[in-house]
Amino acid sequence: MTTSNVLLDISIQADYLMFMENTSPPKLFSTKRREAIERRAINIAQKDADFLVKEAAMMMADRLDATNREFDIAIDMFSPFENMLDLLKTSTKTRQIFKFAGKAINNQNTHQRDQIPTITGTREEISLKPKSVHLITSVFGLHWSNDLPGTLVQIQNALVEDGLFLAALPGDRTLMELRDSMLTAESMINGNATLRIDPFGEVRQIGSLLQRTGFALPVVDTELLTVRYSSLKKLITDLRAMGATSCLNSNTHFGPRDLFERTEEVYRDRYQDADGKIRATFEIVFLSGWSPHISQQKPLKRGSAKNKLSDFL
C-alpha cells in the first residue's frame, strides 16, 4: 500500500472515531445524496435487491421471538424495503406498528404506505415523545446518521422503561474487497486515492456506544456473509438497487476514466475464485439494548463475590 493510501486510511479512521465518540462529530454523510440514493433504489425496483436486508431482518425476528415479552407500540426506523415491517406485522410480539422514514421514502407510493402509519424525520432528529415506544427496530438504516451517538440517545429516551431496541448495522469488514481494490486502483492511476466506500463501525466500537448512550443489558454479535458475483458490474448493480452506494460528503468528484476497469483488475487478482467469480463480504452487526428499569439484572458490586476463582479450578 502506498504512503498516500496509508495517510488516507489514517485520516478516515480519525474522522470516524471522532464521529463514534461524539466529540464534535464531522458531517460525514450528505443528506441530499442519501435521499437521492434511496429514491433511485425505489425506482429501480430490482427483483431480489432486498436479499441482504431480508436475511438480516429474519435474524432480527428470531432475536425478537426469543424475548419473553409483548410490545404494544413498535416503530421500525429507516429500514430499506419492507422486510422488517412485514415481520413485525406477522409477529405475535407486536401490536401497533409505525414506520419512521425520511422524506425520500415517505413520498413514494409504496403499497405499505396506506397500511402502516409513517412518521417523517431525520436520522439526527428522532422526533418521538419520551418514554412513548415499547420496541424500536432498524435494519441497515441508522449507520448513515451524522451523529450516531446522539441518535442512539434519542432512541433510548423514546423507549418506555424496559423497552427494547434491536438493530442491524454493517460492520467494518463489509465490502472490504471493494474498498481495498478501489483504493489500490486509484492510487496506481493518480498516486493518491479518495475513499469511495462509506466507513462502517467496528464491533467493539458499537458495543461501547450502546453502553455509553444509556442502554442496559447491551448485546452485540456479528454474522459474516460472502456473496459471489460474475463481475464487478454485477456487484455495483446490486449495491445501487439496494440503496447501498456511498453518500460521503467528501466524495464530490468522479474518479479517473479507467478507475472501474483498473479496480476490476485488482479485484480479480486478489479476490477471484477458481471459477472466475469474485467475492464480496458483508458483515452484519446485530445489537440489542433495553431502556433501564429497576427490575433488570445488574452486575454485582466489585468485591461482593462469596467464592474465589480458585474454588472452581
Strands 118-120 vs 94-101: parallel, antiparallel or unpaired: parallel
Per residue in 61-71, pLDDT tens? Answer: 999 999 999 99
Among the ranges given (78-82, 116-120, 189-193), the one the predictor scored with the smallest mean pLDDT: 189-193
pLDDT tens-digit readout, 263-287: 999 999 999 999 999 999 999 999 9
Element (H, E) at 166: strand 159-170
Share of the chain above pLDDT 70, in %: 81
User: What pLDDT shows up at residue 194?
Assistant: 81
Alpha helices in the chain (DSSP H): 3-21, 31-44, 51-65, 83-90, 103-106, 148-158, 176-190, 203-212, 232-241, 259-271
Mean pLDDT of 197-212: 91
CB 211 within 8 A of CB 291: no
Across 141-155, average pLDDT: 94
How many C-beta atoms surround the C-beta of residue 187 within 10 A?
20
Q: What is the dihedral of CA 17, 166, 122, 146, to 10 degrees?
A: 0
Q: How confident is the model at residue 232 (pLDDT cuts 50, 70, 90)?
A: very high
Place of cell 407486536: 94
What pLDDT shows up at residue 5?
Answer: 42
pLDDT tens, residue by residue, 5-56:
434 443 444 445 455 565 566 788 998 999 999 889 988 888 888 999 999 9
**211 Cβ contact partners less than 8 Å away, ≥ 6 residues apart:** 218
Higher pLDDT, residue 34 or 295: 34
Sign of the C-alpha dihedral, residues 158, 242, 147, 6?
positive
Cell of 135: 420496541
- Domains of the chain with CATH codes: 3-292 (3.40.50.150)
Q: Which residue has the higher pLDDT, 193 or 220?
A: 220
What pTM did the predictor assign? 0.83
Smallest Cα–Cα separation from 271: which of 232, 222, 224, 225?
232
Alpha-carbon gap, residue 37 to 89, rounded angstroms: 27
**pLDDT at 4 exceeding the cut of 70:** no
- Asked if residue 309 has pLDDT above 80, the reply is no
